[in-house]
Amino acid sequence: MGTDAEEAAAALHSRLEHPGPVVILGTLWPEYHRTLTTTPKPGKNWYPNARALLNQVKPVDVPVSFTATALQSSLVHRDRSLATAMSTSTSTSGRITQTLAAGPQLVDHYHQATSHSPYGHAVITTAMDARRLGHTSPLPAALLKAAAPGYLTEQQRAAADPDTWFAHALDYALERVMGVAAALEPVANTKGMGALPDIYRLSDYLDHHARTTRSHVFPPDSFWTAARDHAASTADLEALAEAADHRGRYRIAADLYQRAADAGGIGALAELAWRRGQTGDLDGAEQLLQRLIDAGDTGALAQLAQLRQRAGDLDGAETLAQRAADAGDTGPLVELAWRRGEAGDLDGAERLAQRAAHAGNVNALVRLARRREEAGDLDGAERLAQQATDIGGRDALMRLARAHERAGDAEGAKRWRRFGL
């Protein structure tokens, strides 16, 4: 407090001595309230007007954080400031008061760093880009340090002290604005007291700001290299890879997917296998899919069956399709049956359709029955329809009958309906 604050306190105190009614509302951080209401030591009553004013105040404590129920109140959503504070305080467990008190100032702190702390600005920007592009885990210091140089000019990099620049940058990023909020926050140790070493979380308010102001900005190469080498989890790597892919940076995306796959990311393995298959590298795709199969991913059996089929290895494709059916996925068998039927191999198609039916999928039998009908083999069509009926395919046969009706084929509709009834 200073002279102006003491004069304001004196003016408010004087106003309260006049006839009312009058209501004066104000806010004060708890530590200041304690300082100004505690009995002063002799000769140290430095703020007499403020002290006299606060002695008449009835304080209402604002909680450090608000409950989820309180934040769902319609009153919160009607007020733009409160709604924004709530949406940008998701990781602080309802601490919207701090956001209201320092959110805009935190943005100013970030932008002002371009002139007097460019290294702090670079570290904060790295964190903002990482968060908006999919790195949802707390950010390792190693990632921030490795990526930040790409956000600096040559002159700024040349002027940096190799031994101290990052420490000073972190100090700026961790500096509390208005005493309550910082761009980066330490992360509590879930297994004990204190913070996890070299791990930080970006302010939700700055994350919200970045998604608006940097939505069309593509980070420098150093960011992607740092993300590849230091991202906290395979999920973060996969999300960043997807972000790069959506922005047309396919080589960067491939590198990130590869790093995630090397770390055991199942989704990344599947994505890389698909990419290898699309580019004609069937051997590379098969190696990746085999890793997925070994990890228990039955969906990879279907993909590998398709690759074997594309390569002309029909026996291998059938073996894999049967394994997929045994694991509960009859799709590959049905697909192979359809392909065989299209190629005119109705006997081969029927063999596969029968296997799919025994695994619980009668659709291949019904589709093949229609193909037999189209080929003029009505006896074969009716035989397959009867088999489909026997194992619960009535609904599919009725759909086939309705399709004939729509085509104006009353005789065909009658033929299929008698199996579906």
Asked if the peptide bond before residue 186 counts as cis, ω within 30 degrees of 0, the response is: no
List the Cα angle 168/172/173 in 5-degree steps. 115
Instruction: Provide the token pair at 177.
Output: 């604005």
Summary mean pLDDT of the chain: 78
* Residues 6+ away with beta carbon under 8 Å from 410: 404
Q: How many residues does the chain have?
A: 421
Residue from 107, 114, 77 nearest 177 by CA: 107
Q: In the β-sheet with 139-140, what is the strand arrangement from edge to edge? A: 139-140, 195-202, 184-188
Indicate the angle between helix axes 410-420 and 394-406, nearest 10 degrees. Answer: 170
Instruction: State the DSSP code for 181.
Output: B
| CB-based contacts of 75-79 (< 8 A; 24+ apart in sequence) | none
Question: In angstroms, rounded to a whole number, what is the distance separating the alpha carbons of residues 229 and 4?
Answer: 53
pLDDT at 130: 96
Question: In angstroms, rounded to a whole number, what is the distance separating the alpha carbons of residues 101 and 82?
Answer: 11
* Residues 6+ away with beta carbon under 8 Å from 196: 138, 186, 187, 188, 189
* Rounded alpha-carbon distances, angstroms, from residue 8 to 1, 11, 120, 285: 11, 5, 37, 74
In this predicted model, what pLDDT tens digit does every residue of 349-405 receive, in sequence order?
Answer: 777 777 777 776 777 677 777 777 777 777 777 777 676 666 665 666 666 666 667
Work out the burial of residue 239: count CB atoms within 10 Å of its CB; fewer than 13 is exposed, 13-18 middle, 19 or more buried: buried
* Rounded alpha-carbon distances, angstroms, from residue 96 to 60, 103, 176, 185: 17, 10, 16, 16
First CA to last CA distance, the chain:
89
Residue-by-residue DSSP string for 138-180: PEEHHHHHHHGGGGS-HHHHHHS-TTTHHHHHHHHHHPPBTTT
Q: How many CB atoms lie within 10 A of CB 220?
A: 19
Q: What domains appear along the chain, each with residue ranges and CATH number?
A: 3-54 (no CATH), 96-232 (no CATH), 362-421 (1.25.40.10)
Instruction: Provide the token pair at 193.
Output: 């007291």
With a cut of 50, which residues of the chain have pLDDT below it?
A: 421
Residue from 83, 101, 149, 161 nearest 122 by CA: 149
Which of 258-281 are b and which e, b meaning 16 or more Cβ less than 10 Å from the residue's Cβ?
bbbbeeebbbbbbbbbebbbeeee
Which of 101-126 are b and which e, b meaning 16 or more Cβ less than 10 Å from the residue's Cβ?
bbbeebbebbeebeeebbbbbbbbbb
Phi-psi region of 255 (alpha: psi -120 to 50; beta: other; left: phi over 0): alpha
Dihedral angle over CA of 391, 396, 402, 407, nearest 10: -110
pLDDT at 86: 56
pLDDT at 145: 97
Asked if residues 55 and 37 have their Cβ atoms less than 8 Å apart, the reply is yes
Instruction: Provide the token pair at 404.
Output: 């004939």
Question: In angstroms, rounded to a whole number, what is the distance separating the alpha carbons of residues 185 and 195?
Answer: 10
DSSP 3-state of 59 = coil
Q: How many CB atoms lie within 10 A of CB 368?
A: 29
What is the enclosing helix (H) or strand (E) of 347? helix 346-358
pLDDT at 352: 76
Which residue shows structure tokens 């407090």? 1
Q: Is the pTM of this model over 0.75?
A: no
